Structure 1
Amino acid sequence: MTLFAKIQSPSALALPAGILVLICLMIVPVPAFVLDISFVMNIALSVAVLMAAMNAQKPLDFSSFPSVLLFATLLRLALNVASTRVVLVHGHEGEAAAGRVIEAFGAFLIGGNFAVGIFVFLILVIINLVVVTKGAGRVSEVSARFTLDALPGKQMAIDADLAAGLLTADEAKARRREVATEADFYGSMDGASKFVKGDAIAALLILGVNIIAGFCLGMISHSMSAGDAAQAYVTLAIGDALVAQVPSLLLSIAAAAIVTRVSDSRDLAGQIGGQFAAPGTWLPVAIVLGAIGCIPAMPQTVFMPAAALAGWLWHALRKRAAQPVAVVEDLPPPVDPSRIVLEDVSDHTLVTIELGYGLVPLVDERRGAPLVTRITGVRKQLSQAFGFVVPQFRVRDALELPPGEYRILLGGVVLGSAPVRADKILAIDAGEARANHTLRGEATRDPSFGCPALWIEPSARDHAIAEGFLTVDASTVVATHLNQLLSERPHDMLGPDEVKALLEGIKEHSAGLVETIHPQPLSLAAVTRVLRALLEDGIPIAHPLPILASLSRAVQQTIEHDRLVDLLRADLGALIVGRACPPHERLPVLTLDAGLENAIVQGMHDPVTGQPVIEPDLARMIGERIAELTDARGPGAIPLALVVQPRARRALAALLRLRVPGCLVLSIAELPPAQPIEVIDVIGAPVPQSTPPGLPGPDPIEPAESMAA
């Protein structure tokens, strides 16, 4: 913001102007009526701060309190300096010379007896300094220390919730900001409590200066007797000290109230009132007060009415607690039993999770609905991985299922089912559990990956972790199984509605690109079919711009579906290979013997699709050989890629998708020219060769050209 803009904003100038006024109060002499107005404003400010602290639902609702405390303390000290000047200069003229407020505090509140005033002031200082301020400072110090110690753990918990899909990026950013603000607030309060302590000490020193200086000035400069000087100056000094000490005590109480608050949906009065509204609190009070009142030496006229009041409170609260809570419900219109609607016979959701009645507690809102939260996280993760918003899931009970079993359906087709124990923890042996472990439980298998596991009691969770087991609750078991099943079928969840939402989102910043594809020359159904084909081939659409750009170039040549997919794959070859092979690494390649490949291409064809049909014995031989080579490489190696002619790619991809899903099937046109390769084997070759004819060695520059030749 420029300087001119700050000048135009009155709120930006309010604080600097207020500080300038405080400096003027300390330096420039002011008349008595200005002091009266300033003292009244100081008291009003202190009461306002106290009310704001009491009405805050949590400490961070009054996060500006440390700064407010600083400026309120400076205002009070400035008024002390200004009033000291007025008392010492005009104190000999009478009690009204220092203003009506100081006169009232010095005369009315202490009855004109300065000795009583000194003791009252000292008691207020002791209460403020020793009791309230010291306790609030200790609470601030401990809160600041604990908050800073817990800061890394809170940030890790936010990161874990974000990774699990329980929070969006904006929600995680807001949570991190709140955690950082909380740490800053308690650290500031730890230092701000020293302001109040220093203010109380300064009040004692200023009172001493006023008494000694006024006593000396009265006798030396104004030829007053010792009694007259004490009566005039000491009374005004005490009044001045009390005027400053009352707001100081209010601010100390506000500081103590704000640092001792516990986060609640109510203000402090509502929180305390709600917790004292239990009927059992007041019956013992009535009994104790009545017993004390029965003692002959006690004043029965005080204790008995108090006991009766406590008993009345107990009776009234118990009567109110016994009344049923009135629940106003909108009664639905009467249902015609002969009328059947579509919702009664049709399920409009694509993915359904059915639960036996024993698993209903997993979706009970009174228990936090852990399964619903986990499923929401799975849906967010799948949407981020696939590149489109996965349709809403549905969770419902199924009476035909066993009590502890669930099943997952996609479009009405059962994808998987398994029994779980809602009240137990699943300890999974992922290969790291000790062979001679002492963990006992119900033996089972993890439904997602088939690992051996045990259902154990929640109290044995720490024991299982110590034995090397991975422990998850029942809701996590269901959510993980759901994630594993749906991750293999992204194309089944992409429909025209999802594609339409995807295209409308891209239109906001790339409208021209979308117009070259849809609605002409490709309809929404055609675009959906192309994108489903890419997903079925394992190509995500999380980055749609390069895919749509390739599609825009491809539709200039053809709009026939199979040809479009081939052109898209050839244009996206770097993306396809890059997902399987890290940069600057050699891609392990398999090829088919030339005779075998020609036999597939020139053999039988499906009359409907026009694709080659591979004979069963040949398909079994190819699948077994590639599976053998894949197993020999181990789980951590770069997956193998079978490079074939474009006309054979689709048939071989369909074959290996079932037999060796980890093998990448590429046409020669999809292999990037600059991709370094390493030929592992030639399938169907009569004699194994180290470097098959027509294929290059591991030279990273010429492989595609040699293979094309």
Structure 2
Amino acid sequence: MPLKDFSILMTVILIVIMLIIPLPTGIIDFLIIINITIALIIILVSMNTQEPLQFSIFPTLLLLVTLFRLGLNVSTTRAILGNQGDAGNVIETFGQFVVGGNALVGFVVFVILVVIQFVVITKGAERVSEVGARFTLDAMPGKQMSIDADLNAGMISDIEAKERRQKIEREADFYGSMDGASKFVKGDAIAGIVIVIINIIFGLVIGMLQEGLPIAEAANKYTLLTVGDGLVSQIPALLISTATGIVVTRAASEGNLGHDITKQLFAYPKMLYVAGGTIMGLGIFTPIDLFVTTTIAAALGVGGFMLLKTQEKDRMFAEEEESSPAAEEDDIKSPESVVNLLQVDPIEFEFGYGLIPLADANQGGDLLDRVVMIRRQLAIEMGMIVPVIRIRDNIQLQPNEYCIKIKGSEIARGELLLDHYMAMSPGVEDENITGIETVEPAFGLPALWIAEDTKEQAELSGYTVVDPPSVVSTHLTEVVKRHAHELLGRQETKQLIDHMNESYPTLVEDVTPSPLQTGDIQKVLSKLLQEKVSIRNLPIIFESLADYGQMTKDTDLLTEYVRQALSRQISAQYVSEGEPLYVITVGASVEKLIADAVQQTEHGAFLNLDPEQAQQVVQSVMTEVERMQETGQMPVLLCSPAVRMYVRHLIERYIPQVPVLSYNELEPTVEVQSIGVVNMQ
């Protein structure tokens, strides 16, 4: 056990010993000086902290110190009353030297200390602790929302957001603990008063009855000792109470208490002239000694003059630093500035200056709130944590133009008219609905930008009418969905694994780090996302990986096993309840052609198909897809499990939006109706 941990344990044991076993006066003297030292260290530390959480152990420390002091009170009381007044050198010194041997004066000083501590400092610290705890808890929701807003705006990273949330939780715990710990300080002050009264009363009784002393001598002897004991106890208690008040009233700042007091108290040097003049007036117009007032007034005047000169020099130096070309050149040449340029945001949304009202909350823009909802929606639908979407304006874009970038590369671009609505035809055009022709950016459908006065008529005609913020949020959502597999890296996969490990530790242990590494799991999840399969049901995915991970490391094959395990989810994705699934089936000849062209290597299997035959297969699929789309149905390609992934690889470059399913990925209850067959032409 480390020495520092052992010393804390021994302190607690010592408190118990002081409560039970009589201690020699030499040890009592030693413990009294330690008590004063600890109190002095605590108040100095509390003055040098910049925010309360830097002294977060204070509530617990306050309890231990209070118990130590009460244990010491028990030992000193036992020594005073049980050793015929021999309580040790320290208590006798405080009783004789500090109060001049006058028991009445000492008692008055002790009462004043108790009143200062109990009525002023302890009462105030208790109230501040109570109010601070209440206000901290009430402010938690607002602070959490502020962190979420900064995170979604890209002003802070996920790590910074997590640290800020932890800080808020620690602040709530701290102020709650301080609210309770301040009650110990109040109880300690009351206990000090009671102990002094008991010592004086029973000291008189012991002195007169057991020692046979006259009442005056007994009162003087035991009152001095009791006052000395009270002083050595109440002085550390007063320091601890003051430290409690400093900690709970301390706001976060750039410096310690001494720095803040000198900086803020003397922030206006001219006020020192006013104060000095007032003090000088007191010396002139009242009987107060003129030497005293003149000295203080002169010190204030000199101090104000020196502070004004210092502030003027600091202001001129700051202006020179800001305007100095060397400072700008040093900033450009600094290695940190180059490193910062290497940062590439996962997702960026840039817009021209004409679209600033979209993101400006003061102008009614709700883009930041929509981004929050997009991330929540994709977490529910796709099961992945969407990275922070960086939103910024770009003067290089046209005023009404915006673009979406994935990892620094532009993926999509669009244009908005903020004073118009986008109307998409239901299939039957209405000649009365006129506007600016455009293309709906998310799905590429023909649309019109119509004026607000035409909106109601368009809706009555069956048009789908959406406002510009909805257009851009839909476009952003679809782009993120389409490129979700690119956004899921090893780091994001590790976050998902860690989150799952909290609920399914055994399952995670069976999958990673053996037999599968984080990179292998990331590839499987990425392949699922690439084909629009949600990875939210991680337990089922990991069950499959645990079952088949020992058999193969081929991520393509593992993905097929996972897809089959997700058959209920995949079936629900493409089939409405009670309705059949209309599909295009891959003919037996095509399946045999593909199966024969599969070659196995030590690095996995791949499709080695003749280019002309591959083109024929793709052309046949595209023909059937177009025929199915003409009937208004969503095309789905169905084939056997053995060739599903090879069929997918074959057509994904030409028609990536067409899902390819295998028979094993459909529930037995699904009714399948084939309305087309892919055959060799």
TM-score scaled by structure 1? 0.62
Work out which of the residue numbers 398, 401, 420 in structure 2 matches 1:402: 398
Cα deviation, residue 266, structure 1: 3.4
Q: C-alpha separation between the residues in 1 aligned to 2:265 and 2:163? A: 34
1:680-691 matches, within 5 Å, as: 683=675
Q: Which runs of 5+ in 2 are unaligned?
A: 334-341, 361-365, 424-437, 453-465, 494-508, 594-610
Question: Who is 2:503 aligned against?
Answer: none
Following superposition, the deviation at residue 20 of structure 1 comes to 3.3
Residues 152 and 389, structure 2, Cα contact 8 Å, conserved in 1: no
2-structure distance, mates of 1:291, 1:453:
73
Give the 3-state SS of the residue equivalent to 1:610 in structure 2.
helix
**How much has 1:269 moved relative to structure 2?**
3.0
Question: How far 1:209 moved relative to its partner?
Answer: 2.3
Aligned residues of 1:619 and 1:655 also touching (Cα < 8 A): no
Residue 218 of structure 2 is matched in structure 1 by 229
Select which of 235, 242, 257 maps to 1:246. Answer: 235
2:671 counterpart SS class: strand
Inter-CA distance 154–676: structure 2 relative to 1 (3 Å threshold): farther
Residue 110, structure 1, aligned to residue 99, structure 2: yes
The residue type paired with residue 415 of structure 2 is A
Question: Do structure 1's residue 79 and structure 2's residue 72 form an aligned pair?
Answer: yes
**1:657-704 deviation line (CA, Å, top 9, x unaligned):** 58xx5x7454xx54447532135x66489xxxxxxxxxxxxxxxxxxx
Residue aligned with 1:98, SS:
coil
Do structure 1's residue 581 and structure 2's residue 572 form an aligned pair? yes
Q: Which residue is 2:278 aligned to? A: 291
Residues of 1 paired with 2:331 and 2:189: CA distance?
Answer: 69
Look up the match of 2:435: none
Give the CA deviation at 1:651.
12
Write the letter of the residue equivalent to 2:176. Answer: G
3-state SS of 1:609 partner: helix
The change in CA–CA distance for 1:257 and 1:446 in structure 2 (over 3 A counts) is farther
Deviations 1:543-579 (CA, angstroms, capped at 9, x unpaired)? 89869998999999xxxxxxx9899769845547633
Going from structure 1 to structure 2, the CA distance change for 1:333 and 1:320 (only over 3 Å counts) comes to closer
Paired residue secondary structure (1:258): helix
Change (3 A) 1:454 1:242: farther
Confirm whether residue 98 of structure 1 aligns to residue 53 of structure 2.
Answer: no
What is residue 414 of structure 2 aligned with on the other side? 417
Q: 1:320 to 1:134 in 2, by over 3 A?
A: farther
Answer yes or no: is the 8 Å Cα contact 2:272–2:301 preserved in 1.
no
Q: Write the distance in 2 (CA, Å) between the matches of 1:318 and 1:248.
A: 40
In the aligned structure 2, how far is the partner of 1:354 from the partner of 1:643?
40
Per-residue CA deviations over 1:460-489 (Å, capped at 9, x if unaligned) read: xxxxxxxxxx999x9x99787545324224
Alpha-carbon shift at residue 80 of structure 1 (Å): 2.1
Contact 1:591 1:644 in 2 (8 A): no
TM-score, normalization by structure 2: 0.64
Paired with 1:132 and 1:479, the residues of 2 have a C-alpha distance of: 56
* DSSP-derived class of the 1:402 partner: coil
Give the SS at the match of 1:611: helix
Q: Secondary structure at the match of 2:317?
A: coil
Alignment partner of 1:213: what SS?
helix
Q: Show the counterpart of 2:81.
A: 88
What SS does the corresponding residue of 1:581 show, helix, strand or coil?
A: helix
Counterpart amino acid of residue 77 in structure 1: L
Q: 1:652 to 1:238 in 2, by over 3 A?
A: closer
CA distance in structure 1 between the partners assigned to 2:117 and 2:344 by the alignment: 67
* Matched residue SS, 2:414: strand
Contact 2:43 2:240 in 1 (8 A): yes
- Aligned-pair identity in percent equals 34
Is 2:21 the partner of 1:28? yes
**Residue 385 of structure 1, CA deviation:** 9.2
| Residues 203 and 241 in structure 1, CA contact (< 8 A), matched pair in contact too | yes
Give unmatched runs, 5+ long, in structure 1.
Answer: 1-7, 336-345, 365-369, 430-443, 456-469, 500-505, 518-526, 557-563, 631-639, 686-709
- Which residue of structure 1 aligns with residue 269 of structure 2? 282
For residues 98 and 454 of structure 1, what CA distance do their matches in structure 2 show?
A: 94
C-alpha change, 1:249 and 1:454, in structure 2 (3 Å) is farther
Q: CA RMSD in A?
A: 6.2
- Residue of structure 1 in register with 2:50 after alignment: 57
Of residues 137, 140, 145, the one that matches 2:126 is: 137
CA distance in 2, matches of 1:248, 1:427: 71
Q: What are the residue-to-residue correspondences of 1:495-534 with 2, within 5 Å?
A: 509=512
AA of the residue aligned to 1:590: Y
Conserved in 2, the CA contact under 8 Å of 1:550 and 1:571? no
**Match for 1:229: what amino acid?**
A
Q: Identify the match of residue 12 of structure 2 among 19, 26, 36.
A: 19
Change (3 A) 1:677 1:42: same
Confirm or deny: 8 A CA contact 1:587 1:675 kept in the other structure. Answer: no
Deviations along 1:348-391, whole A, 9 cap, x unmatched?
Answer: 99987655467899999xxxxx9999999999999999999999
Corresponding residue pairs, total: 578
3-state SS in 2 of match to 1:102: helix
- Superposed CA offset, 1:386-412 (max 9, x none): 999999999998654335643235786
- Distance in 2 between the 1:454 and 1:260 partners? 58
